[in-house]
Every structure is written in structure tokens, then in C-alpha cells.
Amino acid sequence: MDDPAMPFNPHTTIGVCLIRVLISFMLFGVMTTQTYIYYKRFPDDSLKLKALVAFVWYDPVHNIDPTERVRVNRTCDGAHTLCVGHLLYVYTIYDNAHTEGILGRPAPKSYETSVFFYGVIGAIVQGFFSFRIYAFSKKLYLPTLIDVLAFLRLLSTIASLYVGLQMTSLSEYLEQEVWRATASWAIGTTNDLMITSTLVVLLHRRRKDALKRTAALVDQVILWTLGPSSNLRLRVFPAYSRTETGMLMSVTGVISLACFVTMRENFIWFAVFIIEAHIFSNSLLASLNSRETLRAINDQEIALSPIRATHSTIVYNGEPAKMAGVNGDVV
């Protein structure tokens, strides 16, 4: 039987589960497109960076037996997508005859596994941006703090996986995990805000010393770091892939936490949670792929505003001598 304090509602459980899976597969498609674009555009990137992208996306095929709920050995975004798809299958097909008992029974193993992959993806992406902050600032204290917080959240998801694999009912599990989930989301959201604000501050400092054309590029990077609003005029996929979604990750984390604390009896919080995981993985590829766009903007600025050489002469042995201009021509 379900917990009486947590009544079953098919619209906010199975219905939300269906919607979140559709969105999850859509975002995984965007992630796959971005991965293809990355390998196409940047064949000369380091092997480590290519391996990181492959690990975040890669999805080798393994068999899943729905009667055993899940048996999975995949990595990151593809595995995360597989888990939420399997969860929907169990609830709508395998458990079709008794969906009203969802909250009173253990959740499919794909439920806890998706939480684990969420933690892995988050730790990788936040670690990547902490390295970017170090590259900008050449200081270790903030990147170290970001890495420590990311590691703590990863440990929290591992603990949730361990507890979840032994759950006797979903409602009991959710009640037990309130404090851990709240702490994990609070840590993650704090980290996202720290990453976003630090990048904006560092970029703004560089802007002060930049030339006018370079300042325009820095402004664009700052907008991408904050969110997608500056790119709505672009095509759908490029617009999404050009956003580093810093504020979007933070806002999504806050919404997930608020929904979990106030509405644990339904799956709305889990739907936002699933979307947040895909935003993490897409933000990594967006950051890498945006380099090509910045180069294009830079080249366009140069083409529209060419540097003009000034004619200068000096007198040498009584004769005027010509000097090379900025572009190398003789003036």
C-alpha cells in the first residue's frame, strides 16, 4: 500500500514521467548533435579532451531485462537517458496492472542509477569549468573549492545509490533522503552560482584591458555564460549549443530542490532533475563548440573594420624613406 501521506496521482507521476522522458531524449539528441559537431570542428584537440567528451556522451549497448528492473553498465549522458527510458517502460508496461502502488514499492534500479549518473556528469562538468577558471585566474583557491564541492555532491549521489538499492518502498526512501538530497542540491546550486559569477567577474576584468573589438567578443562570452537569451535570434540547435547556461543550471537546481521539498509525493521534482542533468552535459559541449563561433565573430569584425595603415616618412641621408605599414604593405 502507498503511504497515506503520499497519495497516488497518475497525472503527476506517470504523466510527468512520460513528459520528462520525451524531454530527456530530445536533449540527448541535442547532446549527440553537439558531440558530432565537436569532433568535426576540433580534430586537433588533445586526446584527453576528446576522451572527456566521449565519456560524457558514450553509450555502449548492454541488455536490459525489465523483469529484473535494470542491469546497466553504461556511461554518463547516454546511460542517464537509458535509465529514464527504462523507468518509463517499467511503470507503463511492466507495472501497468498495478501502477497505483508505485510509491509503496521499491523503485526500479534505473531510478537510483540515473541519480548516480547525474552526480558523475555534474562532477565532470563542474571540474571542467573549475579548470577554466584556473586558466583565467592562475589561482588555485577558487578552483579547489569548486572541485571539493563537486566531489562532495558526487559522494552524496553515491550514498543515495547505495541506500536506494536497498529500499523497501519509494515513499520511505524519499523520506529518508530528504536531508541528503537537500544538502546535495544546495551544494550543487552554490557551486553553479560560484562558477557563473567567477567567470563573469574574470571576463569583465579582462574586458577593461581589451581593445574595442576584443571587448565585443568578451561581452558575447559573458552573455553565453549567463544564459541563452542573447541567442534567441539564431537557429534552434546552434542557439542551444552556444549557451553555456551558467544561470540556467543554477535556476534549474533551485527549482528541483523546491519541488522536492514541497512535492515529494509526485515526480515533478524528478522531471526537473532529469532536465538538469542534460543541461550539465550540454553546457560542456556548448563551451567547447562556442570557440568556433567566437573565431567567426572575430573574423567578421576584422573584415568589417580593417586596420588602416598610416602613411609615415622619415628622412634618411637627405631622402624620404618609406616605412612598412601595420598590414605589412609599403606606404
Determine the average pLDDT of the residues in 199-203. 80
In the numeric block, the cell 536497498 is attached to 166
Q: What is the pLDDT of residue 315?
A: 38
Under the banding of pLDDT at 50, 70 and 90, the label for residue 208 is low
Domain spanning 14-322: which CATH class is it, in words?
Answer: mainly alpha
Is the torsion defined by CA of 38, 44, 49, 50 positive or negative? positive
Domain boundaries, the chain: 14-322
Spatial neighbors of 221 by CB under 8 A, at least 6 apart, are: 203, 290, 294
Highest mean pLDDT among 101-115, 191-205, 286-300: 191-205
Q: What is the pLDDT of residue 147?
A: 96
* DSSP calls for 250-261: HHHHHHHHHHHH
> Are the CB atoms for 195 and 125 separated by under 8 Å?
no
Q: What is the pLDDT of residue 58?
A: 62
* pLDDT tens string 40-59: 989 999 998 888 888 887 64
> Are the CB atoms for 1 and 104 separated by under 8 Å?
yes
> Are the CB atoms for 194 and 145 separated by under 8 Å?
yes
Lowest mean pLDDT across 145-149, 178-182, 216-220, 311-315: 311-315
Helix (H) or strand (E) holding 189: helix 178-208
Cα–Cα separations (whole angstroms), residue 86 to 83, 265, 308, 324: 5, 21, 62, 68
Q: What is the pLDDT of residue 267?
A: 82
Helix (H, G, I), strand (E, B) or coil at 13: coil
The more confidently predicted of residues 219 and 326 is 219
Q: Is the pLDDT of residue 89 over 60?
A: yes
Q: CA–CA separation, 125 vs 242, rounded Å?
A: 16
Tell me what percent of the chain is helix, strand and coil, each rounded to the nearest 5: 75, 5, 25
Q: What is the pLDDT of residue 152?
A: 95
Letter string b/e over residues 253-274, b meaning 16 or more CB atoms within 10 A of that residue's CB: bbbbbebbeeebbbbbbbbbbb
Under the banding of pLDDT at 50, 70 and 90, the label for residue 230 is very low
Give backbone dihedrals phi and psi of 97, rounded to 5 degrees, phi first. -75, -20
Q: What is the pLDDT of residue 314?
A: 37
* pLDDT tens string 150-194: 999 999 999 988 898 888 888 888 888 888 888 988 898 899 889
Lowest mean pLDDT across 92-96, 209-213, 290-294: 209-213
Whose CA is closest to 88, among 13, 12, 3? 13
